[in-house]
Amino acid sequence: MTLLNLAVAAAAFDPEAATQAYLATLKGAARAKSDAYFEGGYWLILWGALVAIASELVQLHFGLARRWRDWAERIAPRWLAPALFTLPYVIAGTLIALPWTIYTGYFREKQYDLMNQSFANWALEQGKGLGIDILASAILFTIVMAVIRNSPKRWWLWGALTVTAFSAFGTMVVPVFVKPLFNTYTEMKAGPVRDRIVAMARANNVPAEHIYVFDASKQTKRISANVSGLGPTIRISLNDNLLNRTTPAETAAVMGHELGHYVLGHVWKLILAFTLIFFLVFYIAYRAVPAIIRRYGAKWGVRDVADPAAIPVFFIVTTIIGLCLTPVTNTLIRINESQADAFGLNAAREPDGFAKTALALSEYRKIEPGPVEEFLFFDHPSGKTRIRMAMDWKAAHLVEVEGRKVEAGSK
């Protein structure tokens, strides 16, 4: 094909028609199943919040929080009581919500053919997660309660900063110390796919000394990858589903996107954005929690905001705020994801690979929502939005894309 023919093809290329052609490949039962799974998740947001609130109310109404507090204060100094309180509090909350957790985390995933684990293996991982949750919560509750005791007028400010610091620390340590508890991470084998990822990383100044593959296929059919961590813990990881279920072009498209998160500083930007949200949440809690305790504290056996038994009250308030802020947090994340999409298209230069990956993700994400639906419930761009972005990019670079195909076909 000559340059003239390539130019003519580029002029005739219609991004909207190409987008519709891709969308048409997901149809019938497959599309209905994808839509049903994702749309059902809209209600899970509400019901999950209600289950969480009910769990906290059970512990308050039946005096469980008071009993956990009294037990902790009998055997530990005041500063350490919140840490001991965490043990029975988190276990009780987990047991109260257990039927909901089993349905949403296991049976619903099995129903939609997304789960690869047996119930026993799933339950074992839930147990590991519970242990991690108890440890992390004990540290966080101890620090936040100390902040409330020592700064009764400004605890909302220092509390928000504490949660921000805790989140940043978690971002740094989770990839190295927590993720390997659930999956095995091994160095990616040498070969063309690895070479291309390394080349893209080096071209964009992303550390690429280590590229890890983890065995997500033992748990799920979902494809994923990430550039995670902060500072010395930064690592490039992709799951084995991505390698096994996609072509090299699709893998490159996904990794270009993930490299974009690193290059564009999205981890730090999200930490900053969520710091502002934490300020808002803690300030509302600063106003609401004392008022709730004044009205119901005597009935529940909660003394004041610095009482470990007040922790369920904090969670009720923050759960309601979090539910109301869902469109805001979704939008913050979705904007970053869209920016990473644009970066990935330029880094990998694989628009069709990107479009096909968007279709693969649509196994469990509704591919073509309405604009309001996408704004409210999507923390990533929809499949249609992503495919259209890829086809717009392809239209602007069609001579290059088709030229590569011609060159590859001649070899």
Question: DSSP letters of 312-337?
Answer: HHHHHHHHHHHHHTHHHHHHHHHHHH
* Residue in 206, 236, 381 with CA at minimum distance from that of residue 390: 381
CA distance 112 to 364: 8
CA distances from 338 to 172, 239, 343, 344, 352 (A): 24, 21, 9, 10, 17
Residue 83 belongs to some domain of the structure: yes
Q: Is 389 a domain residue?
A: yes
Domain range for 281: 3-405
Token pair in block for residue 1: 């094909």
Place of tokens 């296929």: 217
Quote the pLDDT of residue 405.
63
pTM confidence score: 0.91
Q: Please give the pLDDT value at position 374.
A: 94
**Contact partners, residue 32, CB within 8 Å, separation at least 6:** none
94: nearest Cα among 52, 62, 122, 152: 52
Per-residue pLDDT of the chain (411 residues; tens, 9 = 90+): 555 555 555 567 899 999 999 999 999 999 999 999 999 999 999 999 999 999 999 999 999 999 999 999 999 999 999 999 999 999 999 999 999 999 999 999 999 999 999 999 999 999 999 999 999 999 999 999 999 999 999 999 999 999 999 999 998 889 888 999 999 999 999 999 999 999 999 999 988 788 999 999 999 999 999 888 777 778 889 999 999 999 999 999 999 999 999 999 999 999 999 999 999 999 999 999 999 999 999 999 999 999 999 999 999 999 999 999 999 999 999 999 999 999 999 999 999 999 999 999 998 999 999 999 999 999 999 999 999 999 999 999 898 877 666 555 555
Q: What is the pLDDT at residue 9?
A: 59
Helical spans, DSSP H, in 151-263 = 155-173, 192-203, 240-245, 248-263
**410 within some domain:** no
Phi and psi based region of residue 207 (left: phi greater than 0; alpha: psi -120 to 50; beta: remaining): beta
Residue 166 makes CB contacts below 8 A (sequence gap 6+) with 139, 140, 143
pLDDT of residue 209: 80
Task: Burial-class residue 230 by CB neighbours within 10 Å (0-12, 13-18, 19+).
Answer: middle
Going by their DSSP bridges, the two strands 185-187 and 211-214 should be labelled as antiparallel
Residue 401 resides in a domain: yes
- Residue 370's CB is within 10 A of a number of other CB atoms, namely 10
- Whether residue 12 is contained in a domain is answered as yes
How far is it, in rounded angstroms, from Cα 279 to Cα 163? Answer: 10
Residue 219 main-chain phi, psi, to 5 deg: -110, -40
Q: Does residue 93 lie in a domain region?
A: yes
Report yes or no on 31 lying in a domain. yes
Q: Whose structure tokens read 């086809």?
A: 391
Contact call for residues 135 and 174 (beta carbons, < 8 A): no
State the total domains in the chain.
Answer: 1
CA pair distance 259, 226, nearest whole angstrom: 8
The whole-angstrom distance between residue 393's C-alpha and the CA centroid of its chain comes to 27
Cα gap 53→230, rounded to integer Å: 33
Domain annotation covers residue 411 = no
